[in-house]
Amino acid sequence: MYKQLTKIMKALFLAGLLASSMMISTAFAQSAAKSPAPAAKPPVAAVPSRYQPSRFAGRAGKYYQLVWGVDSLSVKAVESGEIIRFTYRVLDAEKAKMLNDKKLEPSLIDPQAGVSLVVPSLEQVGILRQGGTPEAGKFYWMAFSNSGRRVKRGDHVDVVIGQFRAQGLVVD
């Protein structure tokens, strides 16, 4: 009977030892999961991306390229918002002739603000747009007067030059 009691005690001791070792290893695993790694690097400040997605993906971009011979259309508020600059790149000089025709008066229409801006003509400088025969691969611009700053960044505007009409351009 003494031998049996000794065997039972040894078995209980081993079972207790095994159970306690399991609990200790589980506790260590939980505490390791909660605490950050000691060799963790401090967070790095985000670097602003210079990537600009295509403004006219798909059909709209193809339309301006095929029909008007231009791409990279952009509208940007400059000079503290007093001037809105419209720029474009010429792909086909023959198709893009109308955009540089000085006889046609361009306008920038903002339906939300209810305004139509024009290209000003200054005494000393002249009209604030490029003219002449366009060349493929070059960028051209025109500046619209935004006195009163009615057109703001984020507005959707239309640029109209004769038959040309670029709709839904976002002001940067």
Model confidence pLDDT, tens digit, residues 30-61: 555 555 555 555 555 556 556 555 565 568 88
* Residue 109 to residue 83: CA distance in whole angstroms: 14
Q: Is 114 helix (H, G, I), strand (E, B) or coil?
A: coil
Domain boundaries, the chain: 1-35, 59-170
Confidence (pLDDT) at 79: 87
Confidence (pLDDT) at 76: 96
> Mean pLDDT per segment of 10 residues, for the chain of length 172 residues?
57 53 52 54 57 63 92 93 95 94 94 94 84 92 94 95 94 92
* Cβ atoms of 97 and 131 closer than 8 Å: no
* Residue 77 to residue 83: CA distance in whole angstroms: 6
Neighbours of 96 (CB within 10 A): 23
Fold of 59-170: Immunoglobulin-like (2.60.40)
